[in-house]
Amino acid sequence: MNEAAIQARGLTKSFDGNAVLKGIDFTLRQGEVHAIVGQNGAGKSTLMKLLNGYYQRDAGELVLFAKPVDFQSPRDARDAGIVMVYQDLSLVATMSVAENIFMGNWLGRGGMVDHHAMELATLAVLEKMGIVLDPWQSVGELTMGQQQFIEIAKAISQNAKVLILDEPTASLSDKEIEKLFAVVNTLKSQGVSIIYITHYLRDIFKICDSVSVLRDGFLVRSSPVISTNLEELVADMLGHHRNANENWQRVAVDTEQTPLLELRNVVTSVLEDVSFKVYPGQVVGLAGLLGSGRTEILEAIFGLDAIESGQILLSGQSVKIKTPKDAIKLGINLVPEDRRSQGLVLDFSVADNMLMSLFDKLSSPLLLDEGRGKELVESLIKRLHVKTSGADQLVRFLSGGNQQKVVIAKCMSTNARVMLLDDPTFGIDLSSKYEIMRIVNEYAAQGNAVIFVSSEYSEIASFCDSTYIVNKGRIAGQIKEGQTEERLLAAVQ
């Protein structure tokens, strides 16, 4: 068996008297890919931040390559060979690929940046990853998947001995995921140890050697991947076995009635001749690869992308939507793809975020009607089961699943009849995913319309009444019955 790269014994960490990690024993072996899974709030992020020096432990011992260590900062950990690639990207959009990869460590001689050396070094790192990019291309021009690769390239350029990957596949297409797995296997063969944090449990069985499960601050499983299965991991995460066959059945939609939302031959700078209908009580999926136009359809409906020709109809009436404000007034709201940067103001309270779209309605000429606002917020917190210390808590300190509930609550506060959901379960744990889908299902059951975009075709297949296939900005087909993950995956190619 390979020697240990990291050994953690009895790690504990508390915040304001609340224990987050409770005596964690964890071993990562050299040249191993070790998955860490658990629900939001289980302690995954805290454990990783202890390992990379962002937090300092309250008690316990941390040993790196047989030497005790006590990191006081991420720089300490990086100097010792531990590098973490966070889920939230830290790139500078106006800088080039090369400048981002070597940021803070630009190659040069005599106080001058050596652009030729940086170019060669960048090409070498990208070649190691199997990625072809122009070293001097602006990062802002890259796709989300390509930007994720630049983050990983930054870590590889620092000669990491231990690489921590936080949800590395969340923003990647299927082909990019295959490339990532190839990179991971290459690094593994070179003796690099990799901690792989993911909510996509099926990935674990494709790329990982071992898996550890955290629940409520305890390590409840650490075992070889080959000795477990998906059902056991889910049970360990939840503390019980959950019915895998959740029933999202809805009342059959009467397609003879007037659609609640209809697009007729919509054309934008990205979309071409997009037409479809969504009826009251219906959840319609949009399935497509990254860059297919699925997000752009939602943005056109919400007034973020200008419509060059075609029509949007609400309850049979043609409407003009030029801005998000127009959409909200008409009863349409959007849960965006990136909740942290697009859907929330992280340093605002739960209440302020929920009411953000309603400030005009809640305000008199001079004062905000705090009573009405407080009543609405408390109702939404209770209805959506938002786990928070109170309406005044900053959204930044909520788990990912509860942050997403706040974004949905903000949409519901406007009494929207149409909800546009762009990957609403992205980056949240299984239990929170179920909660989000339960909320959306209840919303649809009240006679509202939902358009649902997801990177997980299994979600679309099980949750949506019908699905439109999006390819190169067009509607390439529709699947009404017999939706399966395999059928959708084949259809979007």
Choose the weakest-confidence range: 141-145, 146-150, 237-241: 237-241
Domain-located, residue 246 = no
**Shared domain check, 386 and 269:** yes
Give me the phi and psi of 334, to 5 degrees please: -125, 130
Q: Is the per-residue pLDDT at 491 higher than 50?
A: yes
Read off the pLDDT of residues 347-370 as tens digits, 9 standing for 90 and up: 899 988 888 876 555 444 434 556
Both 384 and 443 in one domain: the answer is: yes
CA geometry: angle 398, 403, 407, nearest 5 deg: 150
Lowest mean pLDDT among 38-42, 251-255, 263-267, 406-410: 38-42
Count of the separate structural domains present in the chain: 2
The pLDDT value recorded for residue 376 is 85
CATH number at residue 85: 3.40.50.300
34 vs 243: which has the higher pLDDT: 34
Task: Select the more confidently predicted residue: 405 or 108.
Answer: 405
On whether the CB atoms of residues 45 and 6 are closer than 8 A, the answer is no
Q: Which pLDDT score is estimated for 369?
A: 56
Question: Does 251 fall in a domain?
Answer: no
Mode of pairing for the β-strands spanning 82-85 and 162-166 = parallel
First to last CA, the chain: 41
**Pair 314, 261: CB distance under 8 Å:** yes
Residue ending a domain, among 206, 238, 270, is: 238
In a domain, 422, yes or no: yes
Q: Does residue 293 sit in the same domain as residue 231?
A: no
| pLDDT at position 242 | 52
pLDDT digit string (tens) for 319-350? 999 999 999 999 999 998 887 778 888 889 99
Whether 211 and 313 map to the same domain: the answer is no
Same domain, 218 and 266: no
Are residues 322 and 230 part of one domain?
Answer: no
In the prediction, which pLDDT does 366 show?
Answer: 39
**Predicted confidence band of residue 316 (pLDDT cuts 50, 70, 90):** very high
* Among candidate residues 96, 195, 171, the one with its CA nearest the CA of residue 340: 171
- Kindly state whether residue 344 falls inside one of the protein's structural domains: yes
The Cα–Cα gap between 382 and 186 comes to 48
**Same domain (yes/no): 179, 265:** no
pLDDT of residue 331: 93
Structure token digits, residue 309: 């020709």
Tell which wins on pLDDT, 368 or 290: 290
Higher pLDDT, 40 or 402: 402
Within this chain, do residues 140 and 188 fall inside the same structural domain, yes or no?
yes
Task: Return the higher-pLDDT residue of 240 and 379.
Answer: 379
Question: Cα 382 from chain centroid?
Answer: 24
Q: Is residue 248 part of a domain?
A: no
CB under 8 Å to 234, separation ≥6 — which residues? 201, 241, 242, 244, 430
Q: Judge if 362 and 460 occupy the same domain.
A: yes
pLDDT single digits (tens) 438-484: 889 999 999 999 999 987 788 898 899 999 999 889 999 999 887 88
**One domain for residues 269 and 190:** no
Query: Given the structure tokens 């103001």, which residue do they identify?
Result: 345
Amino acid at 12: T
Round to whole Å and give the CA distance between 31 and 450.
45
97 versus 429: which is more confidently predicted? 97
Give the model's pLDDT for residue 30: 93
Please indicate, yes or no, whether residues 205 and 292 belong to a single structural domain of this protein: no
Mean pLDDT computed over every residue of the chain: 86
Q: What is the spatial distance between Cα 346 and Cα 339, in angstroms, rounded to a whole number?
A: 10
Of 207, 238, 269, which residue is a domain's last? 238
For residue 231, name the pLDDT band (cuts at 50, 70, 90).
Answer: confident
In this prediction the pTM is 0.64
Report residue 382: phi and psi, to 5°.
-70, -45
381 in a domain, yes or no? yes
38 half-sphere exposure, CB direction, 13 A CA radius: 23
Q: Which of 98-102, 243-247, 285-289, 487-491 shows the lowest per-residue confidence on average (mean pLDDT)?
A: 243-247
**150 lies in some domain:** yes
Give 145 or 260, the one with higher predicted confidence.
Answer: 260
What confidence tens digit (pLDDT) does each residue in 160-218 have? 899 999 888 876 777 788 888 988 898 898 888 999 998 788 889 999 999 999 988 89
User: What phi and psi values does residue 482 have, to the nearest 5 degrees?
Assistant: 70, 35
The mean per-residue pLDDT over the stretch 394-417 comes to 86
Does pLDDT of 90 surpass 90? no
Q: Which residues contact 242 (CB under 8 A, 6 or more apart)?
A: 234, 235, 430, 434
pLDDT at residue 257 above 80?
Answer: yes
pLDDT given at position 148: 82
**Is there a single domain that holds both residue 267 and residue 228?**
no
Task: Return d(Cα 480, Cα 468) in angstroms, integer.
Answer: 9
- As a whole number of angstroms, the distance between CA 120 and CA 126 comes to 10
Task: For the chain, give the percent of residues with pLDDT over 90.
Answer: 41
Does a structural domain hold residue 25?
yes
- 225 pLDDT higher than 90: yes
Question: What's the CA gap between 427 and 318, in Å, rounded?
Answer: 36
Domain coverage including residue 131: 4-238
